[in-house]
Chains A and B, each alone.
Chain A
Amino acid sequence: MNGGPLVSVRGVHRRYGSGATAVHALRDVTFELAAGTMTALVGRSGSGKTTLLNIIGGLDRPDSGTVLVDGTDVTALDEDGLSLLRRAKVSYVFQTFGLIPVLSAAENVGAPLRLARMPPVERERRVALLLELVGLAAHAEQLPGELSGGQQQRVAIARALAASPRLLIADEPTGQLDAETGLSVMALLRGVVESEGVTALVSTHDPTMLALADRVIRINDGQLGGRSDGRGDS
């Protein structure tokens, strides 16, 4: 553990639909994430993992409860505020990679830096560094369609790290990868948490990935079902 809480989730409720068909995706979820740690969010499909990640990242809003990210109340932000939050403090890695098909690996990594209007020379230096970090320096000019699934996810991680976020949210980042590739991606995430000092919240239902996490939070039917320390504790 590297310090105080970067993320504080308190009493979050989220319900979809109404009446008899209402689905309670999250019920009174409360937890904190310490800065500079990697936390695994574990649960079956439909347990509420993605809903929780989306609320923490400002992609969704809770019906009640608060979420603080680096001291900012995410639930109180308007759309512009949420955009700024996602641009400066929170990054995503999606299960389906989410790369822009017409952009090369390097251009995909550079996209957040373009949003930050970083000068081109500085941007290219940072992109090269990140691609080196994820082991794809030789594939910088290739389009996503020309890369394997594991390579695409590495590009997505490099892109997520590009703007030096405080919080990296990864939703099933190994869901579309084979076990070996998935493990290497998780190892990469583990490595960047340590090298970049970023806080990571990674959802997964793969038990073999849990060993790499500092903490494991279990979620079941929208409720936290227990937590444990990671790194062999799962």
Chain B
Amino acid sequence: MLRLVARRARAQWPLLAALLAVAVVGPTLLGACALLLTRTAEQALETAASRATSDQIDVTAYTVTVRGEYAKSVADDTRGVLTSALAPFATTTAARASSVMRSLPSAGVPAVAYLSGVEDLPARTQLAAGRLPRAGAVPRQAVVLESTARQLGLSVGSRVRLGMELTDDPDHGIEVSVVGVVRPLPGTGWDRDPLAAAGYDPAYRDGRSAQPVHAYGPFIVDLADLLGGGSALDRLEITARPDLSAPAGRDLDTVTQAVLGADHRLGQTLGDRVRIQRVASRLPSTLLSAHDQQRVTTAGVLAVAAIGLVLTATALALAGRLSAGVRGDETALLSALGVGRGQLAAAALVEAGTLAVLATAVAIPASSALHAGLTRLPPLAGAGLAVSSGVNAVQVLSVAGGALALAVVLVVPSLRTSSGGVRGRRELLARSGADLLLVALAAAGWWQLRDQPAGSASPVDAVRVFAPALLLIAGSAVALRLVWPALRVVERLARRARGLMIPLAAFEAARRPQAVAAGLLISLGCAAATFGIGFDATWQRSQQDQARWSGRPPGER
């Protein structure tokens, strides 16, 4: 029997080559989709993280009202909480602190002033005169904004006495020496200064008296001096920025969870040393949003793979039926010679198995090449996802599984026997039942697609994967059921027509059962193409919306 299979393969190689070509398409598509869902998906998440702007990944801890003796420890502990939350990524931190208001006796009117400490001062200010303050000097060195200097008549070398803190537990006053005058640079966090970097407010309300007072500041001293100098802090803000230039997908997931829990950890760590603490960051939402996008894309890719597999299976079933027809006489002869159904099935399995192995061997490099080609198309290449062709285990398993499943589809028609009247009716009933089931499932899928929110909790959304494929198959099946009576009408018209070729085509379509499978194939192909175009348009629109959304200021979102 094996010799017969081998000789038949040699004799019918064009037929087998055609079957192989059809069988390669599905696994190739599956392999490419597997690579998109593994290699490219992980790379997409990493690229999204590495391309995120600083405001999308910064993690900032805000603490309010810190007693002087705790200021340094609170700052250190806050840095520790943020750094550990962002581990294993290397993290840089930047702190900014403002003291509570102190009285300003030298102003001549009821007035207050405050100290500030800002890390990386040269990057946040432009020096107008003098120099920046140094740590540990006595009296403390400070720089002031131009507006403050103007209002208070200060210049480099001036000394200012700041009075007691306006708190329930005030310390003594302190003296500062002005060593420089600076201009605040826009976009460097001065909006969170108590006077928003105005340097002066003639109607400041500190909440302690009914009348407004004059407020001046900040007197910017070295941050270490501020934290270690015993001044009570009105606010302390520490921003941590992870280095996401080469992130790994698993680390990003770890960080997302850690940052989400950082607020709680900070509260536990600081205890009652501060009155209020809070950790704020867009990093988790940035990464979760990338994950959501990835999930939707995954569902779309899987849907395309499912549709591709259904298309290939339909094509292969049709090809299998045609090849079974070509070999009908040979099968009848073998049966007449006493070859049993089991032996025929074994021969068919051997042939299909060989085709599956060959299809796998061809589809693995083909899917790698297809994947590499797809990533070089403008949308993916523009997103930094272009890769050279490669192979991974998921891809190989998908290709082999797909090829094996298709081999089974190929074997079934060769094992079928001709059906008689009663069996034909049974088949008709079974098909009608299957159609109804398909339509019911498709309707359920449609309902789910309409009602389910975009971000599902499951890693791979089954509804999004199978509903489009089900909808396409059910739609095609129902459409074909409608085509059948239409073809009958066309056939009746063809009988009365004059010519031969077009009426003959009508007769062929109406009377050959293969026409239904071919019709299913064509309608599925058209439906899949329409789905693909629609999916692409939706994806493009989504990208544009996201770009527009992320380009707006936070208040307008």
Query: Is the CB of B497 closer than 8 A to any CB of chain A?
Result: yes
In the assembled complex, which residues on chain B have CB atoms less than 8 Å from the CB atom of A111? 500, 504
Digitize A107-133: 1 where CB-to-B-CB distance is under 8 Å, 0 elsewhere: 100010011011110010000000000
Contact B507 A115 (CB under 8 A): no
CB proximity of B261 to chain A, nearest CB, Å: 72
What residues of chain B lie closer than 8 Å to A115, measured between beta carbons? 499-500
Cβ contacts under 8 Å, B507 to chain A = 102-103, 107
Residues of A within 8 A of B504 (CB): 100, 103, 111
Residues of A within 8 A of B497 (CB): 114, 120
Does B498 contact A102, Cβ atoms closer than 8 Å?
no
Inter-chain CA distance A159–B53, complex, in Å, is: 81
Residue B496, interface by CB 8 Å: yes
Chain A: minimal CB distance from B498 (Å): 5
**Smallest distance from the beta carbon of A176 to chain B beta carbons, Å?**
14
- Bound complex: CA of A102 vs CA of B496, how far in Å? 17
Contact assessment for A120 and B498 in the assembled complex, using a CB-CB cutoff below 8 Å = yes
The docked-state distance in angstroms from the alpha carbon of A102 to that of B497 is: 17
With A120-B496, A120-B497, A120-B498 in contact, do A114 and B503 touch (Cβ < 8 Å)?
Answer: yes
| Cβ–Cβ < 8 Å partners of A107 in chain B | 495, 507
**Chain B nearest CB: distance from A210 CB in Å?**
32
Residue of B nearest to A100 (CB): B504
Query: Which of under 10, 10 to 19, 20 to 34, or 35 or more describes the interface residues of B?
Result: 10 to 19
Q: Does B536 sit at the interface, judged by CB under 8 A?
A: no
Main SS at interface, chain B: helix
B511 within 8 A of A: yes
Q: B498: which A residues are within 8 A, CB to CB? A: 114, 117-120, 123
> Cβ of B552 < 8 Å from any Cβ of A?
no
CA of A115 to CA of B501, assembled, Å: 8
Which size bracket describes the interface of A in this complex? 10 to 19
Question: CB-CB < 8 A to B503: which residues of A?
Answer: 114
CB distance from B442 to the nearest CB of A (A): 32
- State in angstroms the CA–CA spacing of A25 and B503 once bound together: 39
Decide if B77 is an interface residue (CB 8 Å cutoff).
no
> Cα distance A119–B503 when bound, in Å?
14
Q: In the complex, what distance in Å separates the CA atom of A119 from the CA atom of B497? A: 8
Task: Report the separation of the CA atoms of residues A200 and B253 in the bound assembly, to the nearest whole angstrom.
Answer: 87
B500 pairs with A114, CB closer than 8 A: yes
Q: Which of B496, B500, B512 has the most CB of A within 10 A?
A: B500
The residues of A that contact B508 with a CB separation of less than 8 Å are: 102
Determine how close the nearest CB of chain B comes to the CB of A34; give it in whole angstroms. 33
Contacts of A100 in B (CB 8 A): 504
A102, B495: Cα distance in complex, Å: 13
Report A175-222 residues with CB < 8 Å from chain B CB.
none
Closest to B508 in A: A102
Closest CB-CB distance, A90 to chain B, in whole Å? 18
Task: For the complex, give the distance between the alpha carbons of A115 and B500 in Å.
Answer: 6
| B 500-535 to A, binary, CB cutoff 8 A, 1 in contact else 0 | 100110011001100000000000000000000000
List of B residues within 8 angstroms of A123 by Cβ: 498
The residue of chain A having its C-beta at the shortest distance from the C-beta of B500 within the complex is A114
User: Are the CB atoms of A117 and B499 closer together than 8 Å?
Assistant: yes
Interface residues in A130-186 by Cβ distance below 8 A to B read: none
Residues of B within 8 A of A120 (CB): 495-498
Q: How far is the CA of A100 from the CA of B497 in the complex (A)?
A: 18
Complex CA–CA separation, A118 to B496 (angstroms): 11
CB A98 to nearest CB in B, in angstroms, measures 14
Q: B73 to nearest A CB, angstroms?
A: 92
Within 8 A of A (CB), among B41-58: none
Q: Which residues of B contact A119 (CB under 8 A)?
A: 498
Q: How far is the CB of B307 from chain A (nearest CB, A)?
A: 31
* B424 shortest CB reach to chain A, Å: 15
Docked-complex contact A102 and B500, CB < 8 angstroms: no
Distance between A64 CB and nearest chain B CB, rounded to angstroms: 34
For the complex, what is the distance from the CA of A122 to the CA of B131, rounded to whole Å?
A: 113
Residue of B nearest to A114 (CB): B500
Q: How far is B512's CA from A123's CA once the two chains are assembled, in angstroms?
A: 25
Neighbouring A residues of B512 by C-beta, 8 Å: 102
Cβ distance B94 to chain A, nearest Cβ, rounded Å: 81
Q: In the docked arrangement, what's the CA distance between A119 and B498, Å?
A: 6
B residues within 8 A CB of A114? 497-500, 503
Chain B residue nearest to A123 (CB atoms) is: B498
Give per-residue flags for B72-89: 1 if the beta carbon is below 8 A from chain A beta carbons, else 0: 000000000000000000
**In the complex, what's the smallest C-beta–C-beta distance from B458 to chain A, in angstroms?**
50
A120 vs chain B, min Cβ distance (A):
5
Sample of 18 further A-B pairs with CB below 8 A, known A114-B497, A115-B500, A117-B499 = A100-B504, A102-B507, A102-B511, A103-B507, A107-B495, A107-B507, A111-B500, A111-B504, A114-B500, A114-B503, A115-B499, A117-B498, A118-B498, A119-B498, A120-B495, A120-B496, A120-B498, A123-B498
24 residue pairs from A and B, CB less than 8 Å apart = A100-B504, A102-B507, A102-B508, A102-B511, A102-B512, A103-B504, A103-B507, A107-B495, A107-B507, A111-B500, A114-B497, A114-B498, A114-B500, A114-B503, A115-B499, A115-B500, A117-B498, A117-B499, A118-B498, A119-B498, A120-B496, A120-B497, A120-B498, A123-B498
Instruction: Please give the residue numbers on chain A whose beta carbons come within 8 Å of chain B beta carbons, in ascending order.
Output: 100, 102-103, 107, 111, 114-115, 117-120, 123
List chain B positions with a Cβ less than 8 A from chain A.
495-500, 503-504, 507-508, 511-512
**A-B pairs with lowest CB-CB distance, top 9:** A114-B500, A102-B511, A117-B498, A115-B500, A102-B507, A120-B496, A102-B508, A114-B499, A111-B500
